[in-house]
Every structure is written in C-alpha cells, then in structure tokens.
Chain A
Amino acid sequence: GAVVSQHPSWVICKSGTSVKIECRSLDFQATTMFWYRQFPKQSLMLMATSNEGSKATYEQGVEKDKFLINHASLTLSTLTVTSAHPEDSSFYICSATLTGSSEQYFGPGTRLTVT
C-alpha cells in the first residue's frame, strides 16, 4: 500500500518551454503532497507543500511563478516548470502523506533536462 507514482520519469525540453510533472497517490488519498528538488550527489531540498484545494506553500527562495503547483484532487498534484532554463535541470521528487500522518511516501522521481 501507499504507492506514489510520478509521470514522466524523465523529460527533456528546450529552454523557454514549460513542462508539467504529475504526482499521484495510487492507493490512498493524500491531503498533503510535497515537492522536492535534488541536485546530483546532494540531499533533497523541499520546494513546496501542497494541500488539496488550496494554494501551495513555497519554501523561501523558491519562485512560485516559475514552479506552479496545483493540487486539484486528493490523488493528484502537478508541478509545472514554466519557461524552463538549463539551471532548472534537476531530479524532482514528490511525496504524499496520509491524513494525520507524519510519514511521507515518495514517488520515484522525475529527471528534467533542459537543453
């Protein structure tokens, strides 16, 4: 149980275009989802906390207009990287929590390469 999927698993896009990454909780309803960014050989950096039906809460230093997060249902959150640039290339990981739980279930990650 508690499986989280991400789609796509990897994506290559051209500089200036936008790309959307989906995060789905497959067998549970997730009231809260988190988006992380991970650079090579580094730890996970929390980008934002997404609650179903409300605006995402972004961490300090994360551009909300560049990284658009939508959490329209209890099983789906999306991260859209707008006007992507090569420096946005990274590994993006989402996670989801059950209501009242402090345990996060992680997706397999999405590798974004901006050329």
Chain B
Amino acid sequence: AQSVTQPDIHITVSEGASLELRCNYSYGATPYLFWYVQSPGQGLQLLLKYFSGDTLVQGIKGFEAEFKRSQSSFNLRKPSVHWSDAAEYFCAVGALLNTGKLIFGQGTTLQVKP
C-alpha cells in the first residue's frame, strides 16, 4: 500500500538558517511527489513537484527537493529560512497514475525563531 511518512512532527530553526524537511514514501511504481505548504486556516499551496527527469527540483519561495529512489525519499530544503516560512508542510505522493488521488504525510510544523 502507498504511504508517506514525515518523521519530524515539529521543527524549529533560526531565521537565516538552512532547513531540511524529511519525507519518505512507499510506492510500488515511479511516484509523483509533491510538497505543499499550508498557513494557519488556509488551503494548500504547491511548493514543487516531481514527476520524472532531473531528480533535483526547484520550487517557489526558494525551496528545492531531491528525489532519491534508493532511499525512497523526497526531502525539502531551503538554504536560508525566512520568518514567513513558518507554516505546516505536507509531502504527498500521487497514488495512482491519472486518478489524481494524493496520499499525504502527517505534516511537519515549521517554527522560525527570530
């Protein structure tokens, strides 16, 4: 069965520090992978996605993620965090080709210290 695990429930980093949010997936075929961000009381905004090709993908707001098939991981990174990055981050995997269904991880809450 497909699943997504975000091992870190809560992460606190200082503003200006680098960030890495972990995501591991279980999927039988080549996955479609996504990272979304959610501000309190808001919907989800797509940060980046991986479908195929270059395993290092660039997203909005200075985020990037690297797909590592051997580790079944799709970790999200940012070299320098801004206070406005404080939010909830969700990793998701496309469950079945062309159905559009997504399976979400549990989410990671990012807190940014001034």
Contact = CB atoms under 8 A, between A and B. Distances in A.
Contacts of B109: 41
11 contacts: A32-B100, A34-B101, A34-B102, A44-B90, A44-B104, A46-B102, A93-B44, A103-B49, A104-B100, A106-B36, A107-B43
B42 interface: yes
A72 B44 CA distance: 24
Interface size classification for chain B: 20 to 34
A102 B44 contact: no
B71 interface: no
Interchain residue pairs A-B with the least CB separation, the first 8: A106-B44, A108-B43, A106-B43, A97-B100, A43-B104, A109-B43, A102-B94, A102-B32
Interface of B: 32, 34, 36, 41-46, 49, 51, 90, 94, 97-107, 109
Interface of A: 4, 6, 32, 34, 41-44, 46, 49, 91, 93, 95, 97, 100-109, 111
Given A42-B107, A43-B106, A103-B49, A111 B41 contact: yes
Given A102-B32, A102-B98, A93 B43 contact: yes
A55 B51 CA distance: 29
Question: Of A6, A95, A103, which is in contact with the most chain B CB atoms at under 10 Å from its CB?
Answer: A103
A108 B99 CA distance: 22
Contact of A104 (B41, B98, B102, B106): B102
Contacts of A107: 43
A46 B105 CA distance: 12
Contacts of B99: 49
